A and B are shown apart, each in its own frame.
Chain A
Amino acid sequence: DAGITQSPRHKVTETGTPVTLRCHQTENHRYMYWYRQDPGHGLRLIHYSYGVKDTDKGEVSDGYSVSRSKTEDFLLTLESATSSQTSVYFCAIGQVQETQYFGPGTRLLVL
């Protein structure tokens, strides 16, 4: 298994509150990704990073921000959580044109 951990694994929060999800890797991969998985949508890319302090938007980036201050950590922040952001969030690592390896996921419920 690739060394990817996500925290927290489960979170319940209220609408309007800020939420930060953490992805930590021990593989020293340059590329890191945040996806969300929703029924009927598969996995969709939120943001990705191609190096420390280098990030870019994905398909569904509205309402999310990211930060990468160290190679091993990639943070996803919901500035003001909404019910539409209830989802399962997966972090992944891997190069373009190579296999991406996924973390165990964070299940987020926004009430």
Chain B
Amino acid sequence: DQQVKQNSPSLSVQEGRISILNCDYTNSMFDYFLWYKKYPAEGPTFLISISSIKDKNEDGRFTVFLNKSAKHLSLHIVPSQPGDSAVYFCAASAPAGSQGNLIFGKGTKLSVKP
């Protein structure tokens, strides 16, 4: 039973346009969310995070939006660049005292076309 779902395995956008990657979760105990980017043959690298007390967090071209009532978060990349082409993983964390790990979605492969 997937607790974190990324329903789009892939996404293709044109350079300069907006990329929107979506993530849904089922566990209402999750209160910290992260996005990771992964290039082939490398480890995932942290991109941006958001606490459940916020509904938006922005870092340069990357913005994460959290809709707690819908149990949905999204990552916006504006403008998209060819170097953004990678697999993006959404992850969620439950409060300290629980298992202590991140629960990952299956990932969305983003392709940014020049």
B10 CB → nearest A CB, Å: 13
The verdict on B96 contacting chain A, using a C-beta distance below 8 Å, is yes
B2 CB → nearest A CB, Å: 9
Tell me whether A105 and B49 are in contact in the complex, defined as CB-CB below 8 angstroms, given that A96-B93, A97-B32, A99-B34 are known contacts.
Answer: no
Residue of A nearest to B45 (CB): A102
The number of chain B residues with a CB under 8 A from chain A is 27
The verdict on B114 contacting chain A, using a C-beta distance below 8 Å, is no
Say yes or no: B106 contacts A40, CB within 8 Å.
yes
The number of chain A residues with a CB under 8 A from chain B is 25
* Residues of A close to B95: CB separation below 8 A: 96-97
* Residues of A close to B105: CB separation below 8 A: 42
B binding-site residues for A, Cβ under 8 Å: 4, 6, 31-32, 34, 36, 41-46, 49, 89, 91, 93, 95-96, 98-102, 104-107
